């Protein structure tokens, strides 16, 4: 990412607070002047898409991850939806098939 990003300690939503996992995901990826909740939404949408595919067609989910069809899925899985780590590892050829 180019340009300045919001420092971790300044990542705050308009209402409520972020979990540590959400903060980890957001650190280094929220450009100054951008709502961190909008960036978080992209990550949660990636998790939702992976989850949907995994429930309906596991091989398609693995293929989508392998082929980069779900933008930001790798980082989202690592921070926001680790329950899909097995799919990611399979897609990356790291073993870990469930």
Number of neighbouring beta carbons within 10 Å of residue 94: 11
The long-range contacts involving 46-51, CB below 8 angstroms and separated by at least 24 positions, are 46/70, 46/71, 46/72, 46/73, 46/76, 46/77, 46/80, 47/73, 47/76, 47/77, 47/80, 47/81, 47/84, 49/73, 50/76, 50/77, 50/81, 50/84, 50/87, 51/81, 51/84
Task: Work out the average pLDDT over 79-86.
Answer: 97
CA dist., res. 78 & res. 55, Å (int): 19
Minimal CA–CA distance to 43: which of 12, 83, 79? 79
Q: Tens of pLDDT along 14-55?
A: 888 999 999 999 999 999 999 999 999 999 999 999 999 999
Task: Work out the average pLDDT over 58-65.
Answer: 96
Looking at residue 28, its pLDDT comes to 94
């Amino acid at each position: 990412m180019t340009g300045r990003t919001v420092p971790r300690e300044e990542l705050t939503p308009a209402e409520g607070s972020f979990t540590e996992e959400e903060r980890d995901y957001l650190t280094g990826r929220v450009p100054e002047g951008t709502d961190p909740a909008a960036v978080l939404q992209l990550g949660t949408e990636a998790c939702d898409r992976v989850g949907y595919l995994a429930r309906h067609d596991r091989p398609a989910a693995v293929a989508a991850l392998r082929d980069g069809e779900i933008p930001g899925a790798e980082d989202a899985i690592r921070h926001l939806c680790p329950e899909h780590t097995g799919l990611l590892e399979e897609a990356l050829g790291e073993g870990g098939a469930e």
